[in-house]
Amino acid sequence: MRRGLIIIGVVLVMLGLISLVNQIFPSLDLGRFIGPVILIALGVILILRPKIAGPNVKVQIPVLGDLRNDGLWEVTQHEFWWFVGSNRLDLTDAVFPEGEGVIKIYGFVNDITIIVPDDVGLAVISMAFVNDYHGLYTKQERFLSTLEEQTPNYSSTDKRVQLQSFAFVAEIKVRPSL
């Protein structure tokens, strides 16, 4: 799926939902409420999320854009929050402390690319309205269902990371390390 088509699809679905609610409740003008509700929700997330996540979780809230984690970076507890964005997580030279790393990505549209070497176990859990997954061994497109995949070595390796994606539309690509 191309990102442009995904964004157009999401906008059409949202406009359709707003139109449907306006037809069911003609006296309710949703246009007046949507903007302020979105601003309030974003403000609450920006203020409270780092405190709720805890001291050991690295929280980033870029809202829009691209994030790259490559080279020497520590795979521990991470959270990324945004509206539309893409993550590139290269695990080739990453440092894995004892235990499992957990990376949570929250967004409206998530585009995630993960580079996985042979000695790293990866589990992917994605909850989205639309999931498009291109893994090392499988391809899946899901609609209104949770996607769960893991590499065959996930249970047996010391280097493990669990990726959790929560979005309206999620495109996840898993690539082998070169």
> What does pTM read for this prediction?
0.72
> What is the structure's pLDDT at 28?
73
| Integer Rg of the chain from CA | 18
Query: What single letter denotes the amino acid at residue 5?
Result: L
pLDDT higher than threshold 80 for residue 93: yes
State how beta strands 77-90 and 58-69 pair: parallel
pLDDT higher than threshold 70 for residue 59: yes
Task: Tell me the mean pLDDT in the region 162-167.
Answer: 92
Task: Tell me the mean pLDDT in the region 34-46.
Answer: 68
Task: Tell me the mean pLDDT in the region 127-155.
Answer: 88
> What is the structure's pLDDT at 49?
60
Q: pLDDT grade, residue 84 (50/70/90)?
A: confident
- Is 177 within 8 Å of 159 (Cβ atoms)? no
Q: CB 163: neighbour CB atoms within 10 A?
A: 22
